[in-house]
Amino acid sequence: MNSESNLTISKAAQKDIEELGLKIKEYEKGNIPEDKFKLFRLTRGVYGQRQPGVQMIRIKIPYGKVTTKQLEQIAFVSDKYTNGNLHLTTRQDIQLHYVKVNDSPALWADLEQEDITLREACGNTVRNITGSAAAGIDPNEAFDVSPYAHKLFEFFLRNPICQEMGRKFKIAFSSSDDDSAFTYFHDLGVIPRVKTIDGETVKGFKVVIAGGLGALSMVAHTVHEFLPEEELLPFAEALVRVFDRHGERASRNKARMKFLAKKIGIDTLVQLVKEEAKAVKAPREKLVVDEAEIPALPQYEIKEAVAPINQEAYNEWLATNVFEQKQKGFYGVYLVCPLGNISSDTSRKLADLVRKYAADDIRVTVNQNLLLKFVKQDALTIIFNELYSLDLHYSGYNSIADITACPGTDTCNLGVSNSTALSTELEKVVREEFPELVRDTTITIKISGCMNSCGQHMAASIGFHGSSIKNGAHVIPAMQIVLGGGVNTEGVGYVAEKIIKLPTKRIPEALRIVLNNYFENSEEGEYFNEYVRRQGRRYFYDELKTLADLNTLQDEEYSDWGSVENFELAVGVGECAGVIFDMIGSIIQEGEEKISLANESFTQGQYADAIYHNYNVLVISAKALLLSDDYKCNTQISIMQDFDTHYVSTGKVSLPVEGSFEDFVLQLKQNEPTKEFAEKYLSLGKDFFNTIKAYRANQLAGEKQVIGSYYKA
């Protein structure tokens, strides 16, 4: 691997990288306000870290698929620009920490040599599209969803409809009704289906929308039991367009799809999606998929049988981490990566191992681990021995011992308490005191450093999120305990229920109490989550409330796990979504930039993109006047309606067409994205923008600065 220029980097990626470098220079010169620069860099995967002066780089890995060359290249850039650690995330991304912002363009350029992007890994965009790691080899799947996930990834990348939404938008593909990708808490989730129509087997999808975790978790609504495969991409595009237009933008805490569905109703939301049908650019056609089930595999010869280094560990590993694929004679092998971390050196050695004995298709899993595919039975012992030497041989994949934890206070601005150190402590409890549970995949533990659920604690059988408790003049690190989340044996998703908040040093004992209670009182064959729902929240609160007694605090409980210092609550401003920044002159400039993008797209024959850029010109122009007169701009649809009320109906502004401003703007969903309509729409948009500029010039002398929470509309 090397960092020399590679001509295979796409022109779009080169443009992105050059633009990032220029924006960094302009920001350092003071020509770009900090918050506006933050908006820009987030959509390029550059995320502020808890430690000052360094950034976290989020690498977008669609549905978790990474090749050996890509893994080696990520290891290379980690060594070159940071500390040599690769962090696997619950969204199947790979994150690098402690990167200097000035190094981010060069780091990105190095990654693009192996077709790896940072674009839209963060920010108010369509985030990394996740999928079941076992897709393509899952014995229970109707068909492989990976090509469909990849199609959506390609479609939304740099798509103007999802660059500056009110909040992020998350999509997941599960390979079967086991719902291993947790579609039920996503903005858009799909599960494959097949049905027979007129004697022909037809592919399609069950579709759910408007789910989400976080402080207020909601289970997604099923809107299609069977959506034909050719309708999936148009539906996804239409849904994103509706979210962009109608989603909340002023209040960050109410800006996700789940809140829009709650506000207007799921039926109205689906109707709005249907109304976008004429305007979408996504083709309605079946995806041509390579039906070859077995990829090209490495050839090797094993001359004599190899004994496992540790027979007991090998037996446990076989039982918990290895499964036979739907392709008979081949096996999938899960690698448990504690805390989701893997070093650059280990990554390179793993890549070598894969090249010798598996398919060149490594998958990052949604619980921060890795999956190897198409391993032959005679290579299993060799692979185990190699993994043993790499410290990747841990058994208990997806069991209670395989704990998911976000970085928490290690690196995240929003982290309240230490999730990683607690994870290590709880794993000790499970493996040493409850070893029989290492083979049990019906109970899971997930930990988040705050309530935002990056560790997916609300989807766990036993979940924890970082918090704090006041005790007089002191603050104690704490964890909120939640129980009963996850997917049941029928594939139905549940959100966990909050039980009690406890000092974090008492969480291991709380885990012992909960597990022992389950063993002693559950009925035969009763799963943990079933037991939790039968007993109810109050029952577990009563079982744990003695641990909440602060009169019995010991000195060591004033410090968090992994620290000897007394706990101090230090929470920064998160960067997961929009930031607060606005200025009328900046909005006008933004409109001019959108006009340039619209013209560029039109020239390249990308008429749908040109139309949507112009749509943004119209909304931005109206917003500039509304904010200049102190009107709120919570959603794009409200901007259109308020502009009609305050400017069109009063005669203050004349439109270039007859009728209302709302109707003028929403022509884009009444017309197909043809060259003729795009040309007319762009011309009218430019006329309107010039009208707004002239109106603004006639306002009171001196630019009125508006700084508030309404910019993102």
CB 353 within 8 A of CB 362: no
Q: Work out the average pLDDT over 523-538.
A: 96
Q: Work out the average pLDDT over 551-564.
A: 88
SS (H, E, C) 401-440: CCCEECCHHHCCCCCCCCHHHHHHHHHHHHHHHCHHHHHC
Amino acid letter, residue 240: V
SS (H, E, C) 23-63: HHHHHHCCCCCHHHHHHHHHCCCEEECCCCCCEEEEEECHH
pLDDT at 583: 52
pLDDT at 699: 65
Of 268-277, 421-430, 449-458, 560-569, which range is least confident?
Answer: 560-569
pLDDT at 8: 79
Higher pLDDT, 310 or 586: 310
CB 642 within 8 A of CB 665: no
Residues contacting 209, CB < 8 A, separation 6+: 187, 188, 189, 220, 221, 223, 239, 257, 261, 266, 269
Which residues lie across from 559 on neighbouring strands? 566
Q: How far apart are CA 167 and CA 240, in angstroms?
A: 11
Q: Is the pLDDT of residue 1 over 60?
A: no
The pLDDT confidence band at residue 154, using thresholds 50, 70 and 90, is very high
Residues contacting 390, CB < 8 A, separation 6+: 346, 349, 350
Q: Work out the average pLDDT over 472-487.
A: 92
pLDDT at 109: 97
Note the pLDDT tens digit of each residue in 400-420: 999 999 988 777 877 788 899
The pLDDT confidence band at residue 576, using thresholds 50, 70 and 90, is low
- Size of the chain in residues: 713
CB 4 within 8 A of CB 112: no
Whole-angstrom Cα Rg for the chain: 26
pLDDT at 423: 95
Higher pLDDT, 354 or 713: 354
Note the pLDDT tens digit of each residue in 69-87: 999 999 999 999 999 999 9
The pLDDT confidence band at residue 701, using thresholds 50, 70 and 90, is very low
Q: Is the pLDDT of residue 222 over 80?
A: yes
**Percent of the chain beyond pLDDT 90?**
78
Q: Is the pLDDT of residue 651 over 90?
A: yes
Note the pLDDT tens digit of each residue in 342-382: 999 999 999 999 999 999 999 999 999 999 999 999 999 99
Q: How far apart are CA 554 and CA 58, in angstroms?
A: 39
Structural domains in the chain, sorted by start: 13-112 (3.90.480.20), 130-275 (3.30.413.10), 311-389 (3.30.70.3340), 404-558 (3.30.413.10), 584-697 (1.20.120.330)
pLDDT at 577: 45
Q: Is the pLDDT of residue 568 over 90?
A: no
Q: Work out the average pLDDT over 558-580.
A: 63
pLDDT at 570: 56
For the chain, what is the mean pLDDT?
Answer: 91
pLDDT at 582: 37
Amino acid letter, residue 445: I
Q: Is the pLDDT of residue 624 over 80?
A: yes
267-273: list long-range contacts, CB under 8 Å, 24+ apart: 269/209, 269/210, 269/242, 270/223, 272/242, 272/246, 273/235, 273/238, 273/239, 273/242
Note the pLDDT tens digit of each residue in 253-311: 899 999 999 999 999 999 999 999 999 999 998 877 766 678 989 999 898 889 999 99
Q: Is the pLDDT of residue 709 over 50?
A: no
pLDDT at 713: 41
Q: How far apart are CA 127 and CA 269, in angstroms?
A: 21
DSSP-derived letter for residue 647 is I
Residues contacting 224, CB < 8 A, separation 6+: 205, 206, 207, 235
Residue 177's SS3 state is coil
Residues contacting 619, CB < 8 A, separation 6+: 636, 639, 640, 665, 713
Q: Is the pLDDT of residue 575 over 70?
A: no
Q: Is the pLDDT of residue 702 over 60?
A: no
pLDDT at 33: 84
Q: Work out the average pLDDT over 565-587.
A: 55
Structure tokens at 114: 């192996």
Q: Is the pLDDT of residue 595 over 50?
A: yes
